[in-house]
Amino acid sequence: MKIDLHRHLEGSHSAAALCAVAQAHGLKDPLFWDDVRSAWRDVHEVAPALTMAGPTDDARVFYACIQKARAAYVRAEVIADLAERAFVEAAADATDGFEMRISLFSMTRTLLEHEGVAWRELSPSTFAERARAMLLLVLDARARAQASTGVPMLVRVGLSRTFESEGHYRALVPVLREHKAGITGLDVLGIVVGADKEPMPTALRDIIEALRPDLPDLTIHAGEFEDHRSIERTLELRPQGIGHGVHAVGSDDVMARLAREGVTLEVCPHSNHLLIPTALRGLTARHGVHPLKALQQHHVHCVLGSDDPTPMGTSFADEWERARALDVDMDRLTADIARRWGQLPR
């Protein structure tokens, strides 16, 4: 069973999709249009700007690739077109199904910025209505893609720990409640620069707890940019899944707790290779094997994800082969994927 259980929409806009959408909607941003030649750039010209050149401990390199792809987030119909293409491409990659994560706040904010709207000056309720429209267009894109491909597709809404405005985040709560039938759960994500790269603001915790009765399945990015203590803090929120979590191998006690509580780690091998190369070498050295294999050896449930395939130059098929090359127990991996997929509301 090959199911991608950690994939982000904003990192799934391929160069081919972006070029096609730019031409279809007349987006003459310099990323897509060469003003000197008065011609559209082709995929080979656009792809390098969207893809990391190699491993780096500076996460800003990755985020710059995401920001470039957002150049196409100029109108709702363009985002809808891009979203549908991303779902279709993901279906071709993970043919048994996948879960797509959407950063609803950042997608809405980006569209407003392209419209010349100062989003912070909007009332939280007005912002929430724009976010509702964004959510519905993504869910509609998912429905069209699922109908055309026959591949099961789930959507999870991500809330960023960057937490730019408490009032605007809180205004999303009734929107998510109203449309919970189309959402499989919540995710906490976001790249934070500071002493603690994986913080959990108290107000964000409150929002998550308020939504748990309606959206009980929770995943949280942790143990990626911070050590095993980040995972310990995360477990206080009773998540069903932890994004990445490879730093768990730094503590036998943490791995034992993960195994005991049945929490699933969503491991993305190439993402970790690119974004935390120094830490990954240290974690591998501790056990003499890749963290994914070490986690399995300590009876932690693990699944695979492609994370952000475009900036990372990967695919779910590539991640599957990487896991095999790491001498991972593929039968156990398949069983854990089936177990986690079976837990997800749909």
pLDDT over threshold 90, residue 193: no
The DSSP string of 330-344 is HHHHHHHHHHHHHHS
Query: For residues 343 and 8, what is the distance between their CA atoms, to the nearest angstrom?
Result: 20
pLDDT band at 194 (very low <50, low <70, confident <90, very high): confident
- State the CATH number of the domain containing residue 147: 3.20.20.140
The DSSP string of 141-191 is HHHHHHHHH---EEEEEEEETT---HHHHHTHHHHHHHTGGG--EEEEE--
Q: What percent of the chain has pLDDT over 70?
A: 100
| Per-chain mean pLDDT for the chain | 97
Residue with tokens 């010349």: 116
Total domain count for the chain? 1
Residue 16 within any structural domain of the chain: no
> For 30, phi and psi rounded to 5 degrees?
-55, -25
Residue 191 within any structural domain of the chain: yes
pLDDT band at 346 (very low <50, low <70, confident <90, very high): confident
Structure tokens belonging to residue 259: 């195994």
Is the alpha carbon torsion for 239, 242, 247, 250 positive or negative? positive
Q: Of the ranges 32-36, 191-195, 330-334, which one carries the lowest mean pLDDT score?
A: 191-195
Residue 235 within any structural domain of the chain: yes
Question: Is pTM, for the whole model, over 0.95?
Answer: yes
Q: Write out the H or E segment, with its range, that includes residue 49.
A: helix 43-50
Residue 42 within any structural domain of the chain: no
Question: 3-class SS at 29?
Answer: coil
Give pLDDT, residue 331.
97
Residue 33 within any structural domain of the chain: no
DSSP label at residue 85? H
Give pLDDT, residue 59.
94
Residues in Cβ contact with 96 at an 8 Å cutoff, skipping those fewer than 6 apart: 1, 2, 3, 151, 152
pLDDT over threshold 90, residue 95: no
Query: For residues 35 and 270, what is the distance between their CA atoms, to the nearest angstrom?
Result: 35
Residue 49 within any structural domain of the chain: no
User: What is the arithmetic mean of pLDDT over 154-176?
Assistant: 97
* Amino acid (1-letter code) at residue 82: L
Residues in Cβ contact with 301 at an 8 Å cutoff, skipping those fewer than 6 apart: 258, 259, 262, 263, 264, 265, 336, 339, 340
Query: For residues 111 and 129, what is the distance between their CA atoms, to the nearest angstrom?
Result: 13
pLDDT over threshold 90, residue 155: yes
Neighbours of 163 (CB within 10 A): 20
- How do residues 63-79 score in pLDDT, each as one tens digit? 999 999 999 999 999 99
Residue 172 within any structural domain of the chain: yes
pLDDT band at 94 (very low <50, low <70, confident <90, very high): confident
Give pLDDT, residue 230.
97
- How do residues 304-345 score in pLDDT, each as one tens digit? 999 999 999 999 999 999 999 999 999 999 999 999 999 999
Range of the domain at 321: 4-11+90-343
Give pLDDT, residue 1.
85
Question: 3-class SS at 219?
Answer: strand
User: What is the arithmetic mean of pLDDT over 157-181?
Assistant: 97
* Amino acid (1-letter code) at residue 246: V
- Specify whether the CB–CB gap between 96 and 2 falls below 8 A: yes
User: What is the arithmetic mean of pLDDT over 213-237?
Assistant: 97
Residue 168 within any structural domain of the chain: yes
pLDDT over threshold 90, residue 134: yes
User: What is the arithmetic mean of pLDDT over 291-312?
Assistant: 98
DSSP label at residue 220? E
- Specify whether the CB–CB gap between 120 and 26 falls below 8 A: no
User: What is the arithmetic mean of pLDDT over 287-304?
Assistant: 97
